[in-house]
Amino acid sequence: MTEVLKLCHEATGDEISLPVSEGTVRATDLLQLKVRGEPLATFDPGFFNTAVCHSAITYIDGDEGVLQYRGYRVEDLAENSTYLETAYLLLNGELPTAGQLADWEQTITEHRQLPDKLRILLNGFPYDAHPMSMLMASTAAFFTFYPDSQDYTDLASRALNIARLIGKMPTLAAFCYRKGKAKPYVDPDDSYGYCHNFLAMLFKQAERKYAADPRLIRAMEVLFILHADHEQNCSTNAVRSVASSGNDLYTCVSAGVGALHGPLHGGANEAVLKMLREIGSPDQIPEFVAAVKRGERRMMGFGHRVYKNYDPRAKIIRKAVADVFDITGVNPLLRVAQELEKIALNDEYFASRKLYPNVDFYSGLIYEALGFPPQMFTVLFAIPRTAGWLAQYQECVTDPELRIARPKQIYTGAGHRSYVPIAERG
Residue 5 phi, psi (nearest 5): -110, 130
Q: Does 299 bind ligand ACO (CB under 6 A)?
A: yes
E strand or H helix that includes residue 5: strand 3-8
Q: Which is nearer to ligand ACO, 274 or 305 (CB)?
A: 305
Burial class (CB in 10 A: 0-12, 13-18, 19+), 189: middle
* Catalytic-role residue among 111, 196, 230, 304: 304
What are the percentages of helix, strand and coil residues in the chain, rounded to 5? 55, 5, 40
Binds ligand ACO by CB under 6 A, chosen from 270, 341, 360, 395: 360
Binds ligand ACO by CB under 6 A, chosen from 77, 118, 176, 355: 355
Q: Does 298 bind ligand ACO (CB under 6 A)?
A: yes
Q: What's the closest the beta carbon of residue 284 comes to ligand ACO, in angstroms?
A: 17
Q: Does 359 bind ligand ACO (CB under 6 A)?
A: yes
Contact in structure between 324 and 334 (CB atoms under 8 Å):
no
Binds ligand ACO by CB under 6 A, chosen from 261, 304, 315, 318: 304
Q: Which x/- pattern over 45-84 shows residues binding ligand ACO (rule: CB under 6 A)? A: -x--------------------------------------
- Nearest one of 354, 202, 377 to 273, comparing CA atoms: 377
Q: Does 119 bind ligand ACO (CB under 6 A)?
A: no
Q: What's the closest the beta carbon of residue 364 comes to ligand ACO, in angstroms?
A: 11
Which among 60-68, 119-127, 299-307, 372-380 is the span making contact with ligand ACO, rule CB under 6 A? 299-307
Binds ligand ACO by CB under 6 A, chosen from 302, 356, 372, 389: 302
Q: What's the closest the beta carbon of residue 303 comes to ligand ACO, in angstroms?
A: 2
Which whole-number Å values give the CA distances from 373 to 3, 203, 298, in the listed order? 54, 12, 22
Q: What is the CA radius of gyration of the chain?
A: 24
Burial class (CB in 10 A: 0-12, 13-18, 19+), 256: buried
Which whole-number Å values give the CA distances from 369 to 173, 191, 326, 341, 391, in the listed order? 18, 26, 10, 20, 31
E strand or H helix that includes residue 379: helix 377-397
Q: What's the closest the beta carbon of residue 295 comes to ligand ACO, in angstroms?
A: 7
- Annotated active-site residue 265? The verdict is yes
Binds ligand ACO by CB under 6 A, chosen from 130, 265, 274, 308: 265
Q: What's the closest the beta carbon of residue 267 comes to ligand ACO, in angstroms?
A: 8
Query: In the bound complex, which residue of the shown chain has the CB atom lying closest to ligand ACO?
Result: 303
E strand or H helix that includes residue 315: helix 312-328
* Catalytic-role residue among 265, 323, 347, 399: 265
Helices 377-397, 360-369: crossing angle, 10 deg rounding: 130
- Nearest one of 117, 284, 252, 108 to 194, comparing CA atoms: 108
Q: What's the closest the beta carbon of residue 18 comes to ligand ACO, in angstroms?
A: 26
Q: Which is nearer to ligand ACO, 188 or 388 (CB)?
A: 388
Q: What's the closest the beta carbon of residue 238 comes to ligand ACO, in angstroms?
A: 13
E strand or H helix that includes residue 60: strand 58-61
E strand or H helix that includes residue 67: strand 66-69
- Nearest one of 368, 410, 148 to 276, comparing CA atoms: 368
Binds ligand ACO by CB under 6 A, chosen from 212, 292, 316, 317: 292
Q: Which is nearer to ligand ACO, 64 or 110 (CB)?
A: 64
Residue 20 phi, psi (nearest 5): -100, 125
- Annotated active-site residue 304? The verdict is yes
Q: Does 232 bind ligand ACO (CB under 6 A)?
A: no
- Within 260-330, strands assigned E span none
**Footprint of ligand ACO on residues 305-324 (CB under 6 A)?**
305
Active site residues: 265, 304, 360
Residues binding ligand ACO (CB under 6 A): 46, 264-266, 268, 292, 298-305, 353, 355, 358-360
